[in-house]
Amino acid sequence: MSSVILSAAGAALVLDTSGPGLPRVRHFGADLGVGGQDLAAVLPPSPGAPAPSLLPAQAESWYGRPGLSGVRDGEHWPVRWSVENVEVSAEPGGGGTVTVTAADERAGLRLVCELVMEGSGLVRMRHAVMNTAASPYRLEGLVCTLPVPARAAELLDFTGRWALEKVPQRREFTRGVWSRENRRGRTGHDGTGLLIAGTGGFGFRSGEVWAVHAGWSGDHVHYAERLPEGVSLLGAGELLEPGEVVLAQDATYRTPWVFFTWSGSGLDDASHRLHEHLRARPLPVRPVTLNNWEATYFDHGLDRLLELAERAAAAGIERFVLDDGWFRHRRHDRAGLGDWYVDEGVWPDGLHPLADRVRELGMQFGLWFEPEMVNPDSDLAREHPDWILARPERMPPPQRNQQVLDLARPEAYAYLLERIDALVREYRLDYIKWDHNRDIAEPVHDGAPGVHAQTLATYRLLDELRERHPGLEIESCSSGGARIDYGILARTDRVWTSDCNDALDRQSIQRWTGLLVPPERMGAHVGANRDHSTGRMLPLAFRAATALFGHMGVEWDITSATAEELEELATWIALHKRLRPVLHSGRVVRADHPDPTAFLHGVVLPERGVFAYVQLTSRLDVGPAPLRLPGLDPEATYEVRLAGPVPERTVLPEWAAEPVRLRGSVLGELGLPAPAMRPASALVIEVERV
């Protein structure tokens, strides 16, 4: 058979280009280490159904969900693609690009399929379809898929809600379709992020896994499908409403990038390939950040904020972010949203007294916005009710006292661009916290469903601001973690992982969000003694150790903290700064720890590593399981020592009394004797190659 093989970092993608029709995907998984001449014997045809093509369709005997669906007014012609060209370009370090162009003249459509295998072995794919006929083509769906083998016996995906995102759920990979559809207008608290298929019992360090992620911030779908013929696949793409995309003659629709990752040794390796994609766009050093929201809420008294800034600087914090409440009429969350002018009544001298003092203290200054939303009780909504994303005759159901601005409307877009740009310039903003606090309901733009146009307009606005202000950092916040995807992360520098700062819940939220997002892009803050969302009281050491393994920050009224608490917080911040080169560039590893009441995770570089042993709840067993540190070189010798404060009432093993030297094979296979810790405790362990 004629074939194209892309391979990198132990992964391979094999396309059968012998035709007829689009190339068929014969293999996605481990690098086979064979040339094209050997593939006919290695990959014989399936006895049931042929391998699916890049865009599965009935014309190739595929009777599952089609890759392309749509209708044309008048006459219906099922699409049968004729390939015009297959262009392949290989990268010297591994991977490469395949671009396939095809057409069906009778159906009036042209197609371009792009596949890129990155040097990490990650595959990303997108399709573009053009209408070449005179009559409109109503596109109903266009998705990207790759097959998985029959040994993929389990599925893992994620659900959640506000303040409890990324809750894992497993099920058997049975016949039929398991579809995760999101119609919230944003990625959603319950958005899966990743849909993962794997061999039975796969874990972080074991089993073979395949995963898919749609890099899109609007409505989307992830699905797994298994047919009785013995063919299975994973797919994802934008989820379109009827009439949302109607292609006039010569108009083109392009899917978002869809990402596929594989690992032969568990979730960590698949996650690492994804992390490498985001890390291809380098970031500056991640400043420890204080956000004032849970410290002061809408109380923007200058003296109080200045005191907060003074305490922050003394503790070693490097960035001060002023959250909601600084703009006109915004004394509560029921008014003012959209009136992006500094409130003269609260800030008679503008924000300059605060911003200038923050900079005098050696910190950066950032500001909160929620550009895509508007309060009905605002000057903007009263002056321009037609700018709301809705039919003119009625408003969508309100949420959080908000409606959605139609960013695809040029006037609304221009207003937001001018206002944000002016404030960034006037206050020399280093940072924007960009929030999005409600789902989008009944969106109508120019008489058609509006999520697609709204999402693209949001991307354009972010892109334009970044072009005007290259040094500006932007955080994607969406009432916490409701907009975390590679579409928004291509334009922002970090995500707000959750509105929940409860460190016990955060351990799981960060653990699973971290499959998709590396630590330096996950906002992780030290909250108050009593958490504002759960009411749970947790020790400062546990709150700080949890925040240590992300983009660390503080969201706590530290003006009310004791001198001892401030000293301890400063100690943790100093530790984070010292370990930041490892935490924000190393490979994330998670042990398949046998004790379900504890987590063991870390970040490793060739020369150094940082681990956390986290006792979540009370142990069932009297003696804790050994700490087998993953990801280390078995042939190397490491010095092992404690880093950071030891939790109260912890019984340390002998090795923790002073640094010890052990081979990586011992640390990984036998492990270290574990300390005895009470619930909600974390011990930080540092290793260094000698």
For 195-240, write each residue's pLDDT tens digit.
999 999 999 999 999 999 999 999 999 999 999 988 999 999 999 9
Cβ-contact 665, 630 below 8 angstroms: no
Judged against a pLDDT cut of 60, whether residue 571 lies above it is answered with yes
Nearest to 588 by CA among 519, 505, 670: 519
Same domain, 582 and 592: no
Same domain, 581 and 605: no
How far apart CA 469 and CA 280 sit, in angstroms, is 20
How far apart CA 174 and CA 172 sit, in angstroms, is 6
Q: How many CA atoms lie within 13 A of 119 on its CB side?
A: 7
Same domain, 670 and 570: no
pLDDT score for 73: 84
How far apart CA 679 and CA 284 sit, in angstroms, is 36
pLDDT score for 456: 98
Question: b or e along 504-517 (b: 16 or more beta carbons within 10 Å of the residue's beta carbon)?
Answer: bbbbbbbbbbbbbb
- Structural domain ending residue among the three candidates 586, 620, 641: 586
Q: Is residue 428 part of a domain?
A: yes
Same domain, 215 and 334: no
Residue showing tokens 């930041």: 580
Q: Is residue 544 part of a domain?
A: yes
List the catalytic residues.
435, 499
Q: Is residue 635 part of a domain?
A: yes
Residue showing tokens 């040029």: 410
Question: b or e along 140-152 (b: 16 or more beta carbons within 10 Å of the residue's beta carbon)?
Answer: bbbbbbbbbbeeb
Residues 628-640 have a mean pLDDT of: 98
- Structural domain ending residue among the three candidates 279, 302, 321: 279
Same domain, 570 and 595: no
CATH number for the domain including 187?
2.70.98.60
3-state helix, strand, coil in the chain (%, to 5): 20, 35, 45
Residues 146-151 have a mean pLDDT of: 97
How far apart CA 88 and CA 263 sit, in angstroms, is 24
pLDDT, tens digit (0-9, with 9 covering 90-100), for 21-60: 999 999 999 998 876 556 656 665 555 567 899 999 999 9
Residues 303-310 have a mean pLDDT of: 98
Residues 513-530 have a mean pLDDT of: 98
Instruction: Give residue 371's domain range.
Output: 289-586
Q: Give the strands of the sheet with 220-226, arranged side by side.
A: 144-148, 232-238, 220-226, 176-182
Same domain, 340 and 408: yes
Give the total number of structural domains in the chain.
3
The residues, any chain, with a CB within 8 Å of residue 145's CB and separated by 6 or more, are 52, 54, 56, 67, 233, 234, 235
pLDDT score for 48: 59
Q: What is the CA radius of gyration of the chain?
A: 26
How far apart CA 119 and CA 92 sit, in angstroms, is 9
Phi, psi of 548 (to 5 degrees): -55, -35
CA 49 to chain centre: 35
Residue showing tokens 């992620």: 213
- Structural domain ending residue among the three candidates 528, 554, 586: 586
Same domain, 301 and 407: yes
Q: Is residue 392 part of a domain?
A: yes
Q: Give the strands of the sheet with 11-16, arranged side by side.
A: 3-8, 11-16, 24-30
Chain mean pLDDT for the chain: 96
Same domain, 464 and 545: yes
Amino acid type, 408: A
Q: Is residue 120 part of a domain?
A: yes
How far apart CA 46 and CA 26 sit, in angstroms, is 10
Same domain, 390 and 523: yes
Residues 653-659 have a mean pLDDT of: 94
Query: Would you give the end-to-end CA distance of the chain in angstroms?
Result: 51
Same domain, 595 and 579: no
How far apart CA 476 and CA 369 sit, in angstroms, is 10
pLDDT score for 44: 57
Please give the angle made by the CA atoms of 377, 382 and 386, to the nearest 5 degrees. 120
How far apart CA 151 and CA 32 sit, in angstroms, is 17
Q: Where does residue 393 rank: exposed (0-12), middle (13-18), buried (19+ CB within 10 A)?
A: exposed
How far apart CA 536 and CA 297 sit, in angstroms, is 19
Helix and strand numbers, DSSP H then E, in the chain = 13, 38
Cβ-contact 589, 647 below 8 angstroms: no
Residues 167-181 have a mean pLDDT of: 98
Q: Where does residue 69 rank: exposed (0-12), middle (13-18), buried (19+ CB within 10 A)?
A: middle
Judged against a pLDDT cut of 80, whether residue 316 lies above it is answered with yes
CATH number for the domain including 384?
3.20.20.70
Question: How many residues are listed for the chain in this entry?
Answer: 690
Q: Is residue 496 part of a domain?
A: yes
pLDDT score for 39: 62
Helix (H) or strand (E) holding 560: none
Name the pLDDT band for 581 (thresholds 50, 70, 90).
Answer: very high
Nearest to 328 by CA among 313, 308, 348, 311: 348
Amino acid type, 56: P
Same domain, 201 and 348: no
How far apart CA 609 and CA 623 sit, in angstroms, is 26
Residues 110-138 have a mean pLDDT of: 97
Judged against a pLDDT cut of 70, whether residue 247 lies above it is answered with yes
Name the pLDDT band for 485 (thresholds 50, 70, 90).
Answer: very high
Q: Is residue 284 part of a domain?
A: no
CATH number for the domain including 596?
2.60.40.1180
CA dihedral 670, 673, 674, 676 (to 10 degrees): 150
The structure's pTM equals 0.97
pLDDT, tens digit (0-9, with 9 covering 90-100), for 435-478: 999 999 999 999 999 999 999 999 999 999 999 999 999 999 99
Same domain, 320 and 469: yes
